[in-house]
Structure 1
């Protein structure tokens, strides 16, 4: 008996859509924790999703905006605390 993976058709649209959703989630999460890492990741994922032609461009643009907001929040708190990290 031979085990094989089921045949599926891959249209290529799932990857950019997943990247758009991931950029949105990571950008949103980055506003609370680890914004120095999650902000740039959200920006890169959103840019790649837009470049690959996602069917969810609004979600990718939101992820891009939230990634930039992550870095702006980090910069604001770094300016206020004179440190590279911040806490509540």
Structure 2
């Protein structure tokens, strides 16, 4: 009697699972950054999305959305600083 484990799922490279998690995290942080802490969450979302795309994530669309939302966070920040809204640096 032979005891072997068989899996129906295809084998994936070790870093792809981490890249998938980074893609989802970039999307969530980019979305959250539109509401609060865009000065911090925007660049983090951009960095995570870039790393996920570089590692070859299976969730490419989610990583691209995270990248776009991270950029949108920085645009919202620049708009608020320019209009003297919530964020105003200097006097």
Q: Please, what TM-score do these two structures have when normalized by structure 1? A: 0.81
> What's the counterpart of residue 25 of structure 2?
22
Larger radius of gyration: 2
> 5+ unaligned residues in a row in structure 2: which ranges?
1-12
Q: Shift of residue 77 of structure 1?
A: 0.6
The count of residues paired between Structure 1 and Structure 2 equals 75
Superposed displacement of residue 12, structure 1: 2.4
Alpha-carbon distance between aligned partners in 1 of 2:27 and 2:14, rounded to the nearest angstrom: 22
1:51 to 46, 54, 60: 54
Cα RMSD after superposing both structures? 1.3
Moved over 4 A (4+): none
- Partners in 2 of 1:77 and 1:11 — Cα distance? 41
TM-score (norm 2): 0.79
Aligned: 1:60 with 2:63: yes
- Cα distance in 2 for residues equivalent to 1:68 and 1:78: 15
CA distance in 2, matches of 1:29, 1:11: 29
